[in-house]
Amino acid sequence: MAKNEYVRDGQITDFNDLFELAEEKKPVIWVAGFRVKKDFVRPAAFFLQWPLAKLRNTQLYRAKKIEHGTESLK
């Protein structure tokens, strides 16, 4: 089974964007970590349960799926 790969496609700075992505059932990239940053792909609805203060200090990006045979945008 192949694992889907995603790249960052613009930072989410407006909470309305997050609500729209959740409504469309789109994935979001969450950048976590202090010294070593790691990207996690989660559904946008996952972040709607988080407190507002935590969301403000979180780096969230739109996710773009990599199709086979295309170059990475990272």
Is residue 23 situated within a structural domain?
Answer: yes
Containing domain of residue 18, as a range?
Answer: 6-65
Q: CB of 3 within 8 A of CB of 39?
A: no
Cα separation of 28 and 45, whole Å?
9
Is residue 1 situated within a structural domain?
Answer: no
Is residue 73 situated within a structural domain?
Answer: no
pTM value surpassing 0.95: no
**73: how many CB neighbours lie within 10 A of its CB?**
10
Is residue 17 situated within a structural domain?
Answer: yes
Is residue 48 situated within a structural domain?
Answer: yes
Number of DSSP helices (H) and strands (E) in the chain, helices first: 2, 4
Number of domains in the chain: 1
Cα separation of 69 and 67, whole Å?
6
Amino acid at 22: A
Is residue 53 situated within a structural domain?
Answer: yes
Share the mean pLDDT of the chain. Answer: 87
Q: Is the pLDDT of residue 60 over 60?
A: yes
Is residue 70 situated within a structural domain?
Answer: no
Is residue 74 situated within a structural domain?
Answer: no
Q: Which has more pLDDT, 11 or 3? A: 11
